[in-house]
Structure 1
Amino acid sequence: MSADLRWPDGVAKRVLGEVDSTNAEAARIAASLTGPTWILGLRQTAARGRRGRAWANPEGNFAATLVMRPFETTDQVALRSFVAALALMDALILATGRPESVSLKWPNDVLLNGGKVAGILLESMGTQGNLTLAIGIGVNLIAAPPADSVEPGALPPVSLAGETGIEIGPEGFLDLLAPAYARREASFTTYGFAPIRTAWLDAAAHLGAPIRARTMTEEVHGTFDGLAEDGALILTTASGRRTLPAADVFF
């Protein structure tokens, strides 16, 4: 991994003292975009995660959205959740110098010492040919929600400061993340999903181990055996191989 920390060419940055949510702000400014833009909210008043869940985001934690106009088909655009996870991993390794402490959890969480330190929320607006993508990222830099605030069986939330003693502000973290994302984005747009998939699996938590995957209709138990070419979760179960495009995973 290169440690070039220059702000990426052609990418804008907006830092807001307060915002309801950086993904909501992305939707508001989408029509005026002239290129990819990072929106950093130093304080969010209505942060949210996957499936509309609330996301605790006290001041000092990281809340940002990268908004862009991708050119690929909708299914390919969605693979940027893996691009963003790798970029987050890269930024955390740069911040800590501890690559062994960072791992990735399908579909879109980043773990530090086995606890959830960051999450990713992708939202798209518009139609094919005129699509805007918002990649929302939240990182517990200084504080994590209490363990009893997450659903039973979910990984405990952790913070960067709590796990490592390292303190970095949101703007400082963005200066690590934006170049890291630009490098992974360049790989994705040049070579496709295959190298992203390989790199993600190299850092995947519990690969080859038993997990539970809960969809909207069932809970599937099996061995986590990899990612399909479209990013879906591959499980080997007692009744055979299953491929799940969407689920919540529990270890």
Structure 2
Amino acid sequence: MWPEGYGKRVLETVDSSNAEAARIALGLAGPEWILALSQSAARGRRGRPWVMPAGNFAATLVMRPGEAPEVVALRSFVAALALFDAFEAVTGTAAGLALKWPNDVLMNGGKVAGILLESLGGPGGHLAIGIGVNLIAAPGAAQVEPGALAPVSVLGETGKRVTPEAMLEALAAAYAAREQSFVTYGFAPIRAAWLERAARLGEVITARTGREEVTGTFETVDEQGNLVLKTPEARRAIAAADVFF
């Protein structure tokens, strides 16, 4: 069932759903989902291109949260949990699903979905939560950076053919429930639920920031959403990085 209070628009083609969110944000009365059935200029984190074969999922939730920027940014965890819930709903199982810090969803160890948060209009402005899911097809290994996890698709991993519209229905309902929990109870229950689903928790991983590479044991995610690694020298809290297994 579509969640109360959330708008929905489905576009046959657009440059990107996040770009469309920026264009329409000021005219919206409340949060709205934008589903793009085709994108000509999709992008992921750090401006990387996002490959979108026909039948895959690209959508953006545009909203105006109103909290401080550091609180607004925690919605990447809200969105990740909602994606986990939605995958469980459309495939019938949570087996093989895991969440990779900061904003990927894994299926059987491969990347099946990614999340991109963008601030529209600065502090107090709108937020765009862009979500891409490999429903039907995954990019080839040549299209991802060296050392990154291999992309996978829902169809390839489960044999289930899920339409973008069905994925949106499941995701919108799941997000609304997780958002309600977040605004009511804060980050603590979201953080706990995320950690229960975290990939490689307790294992040695590598985080690459723009300046350095840190390898250590993935200890936790702290109350600010930072990745906490235990290294031989010290305990490190990392705010932003790409993680490699």
Work out whether the TM-score is over 0.5: yes
Which amino acid is the alignment partner of residue 56 of structure 1?
V
Amino acid at match of 1:49: G
Q: CA deviation at 1:149?
A: 1.6
Q: How many residues align?
A: 245
Determine the C-alpha separation between the residues in 2 that align with 1:159 and 1:240. 38
Map of 1:32 onto structure 2: 27
Is 1:128 matched up with 2:114?
Answer: no
State the identity as a percent: 67
Tell me the SS of whatever aligns to 1:63: strand
Structure 2 partner of 1:213 = 207
**C-alpha distance in 1, partners of 2:92/2:123?**
40
Partner of 1:3: none
In the TM superposition, residue 96 of structure 1 has moved relative to its aligned partner by: 1.2
* 1:104 counterpart residue number: 99
SS in 2 for 1:166: coil
In structure 1, distance between residues paired with 2:232 and 2:122: 40
Alignment of 1:45-194 (within 5 A): 45-129=40-124, 131-194=125-188
Tell me the amino acid that sits aligned with residue 229 of structure 2: L
SS at match of 2:235: strand
Between the aligned partners of 2:14 and 2:48, the Cα distance in structure 1 is 18
Quote the offset at 1:41 in angstroms.
0.3
What is the match of residue 233 of structure 2?
239
- For 1:116, the aligned partner's letter is K
**Matched residue, 2:196:** 202
Following the alignment from structure 1 to structure 2, what is the Cα–Cα distance between the partners of residues 188 and 235?
25
User: In the aligned structure 1, how far is the partner of 2:83 from the partner of 2:109?
Assistant: 15
Structure 1: 5+ residue runs without aligned partners? 1-5
For structure 2, the 5+ residue unaligned runs are none
Q: Please state how far the C-alpha of 1:232 moved relative to its aligned partner.
A: 0.4
CA deviation map 1:172-210 (0-9, x unaligned): 110110000000000000000000000000000000000
Aligned partners of 1:149, 1:27: CA distance in 2, in Å?
Answer: 27
2-structure distance, mates of 1:149, 1:46:
15
Distance in 1, matches of 2:27 and 2:54, equals 28
Shift of 1:236: 0.1
Alpha-carbon distance, 1:58 to partner: 1.0
What's the Cα RMSD here? 0.7
Given residue 227 of structure 1, which amino acid in structure 2 is its aligned partner?
V
Amino acid at match of 1:202: E
User: Which residue identity lines up with residue 158 of structure 2 in the other structure?
Assistant: T
The runs of at least 4 consecutive aligned structure 1 residues that moved more than 6 Å come to none
Of the candidates 18, 23, 38, which is equivalent to residue 43 of structure 1?
38
Displacement of 1:148 in angstroms is 2.3
User: Does residue 1:17 correspond to 2:12, yes or no?
Assistant: yes
Deviation string 1:17-50 (CA, Å, 9 cap, x unpaired) is 0000000000000110110000000000000000
Q: Give the secondary-structure state (helix, strand or coil) at the position aligned to 1:44.
A: coil
Q: What is the alpha-carbon distance in structure 2 between the residues aligned to residue 74 and residue 59 of structure 1?
A: 35
| CA positional deviation for 1:127 | 3.3
C-alpha distance in structure 2 between counterparts of 1:102 and 1:69, whole Å: 30
* Mapped pair 1:229 → 2:229: no
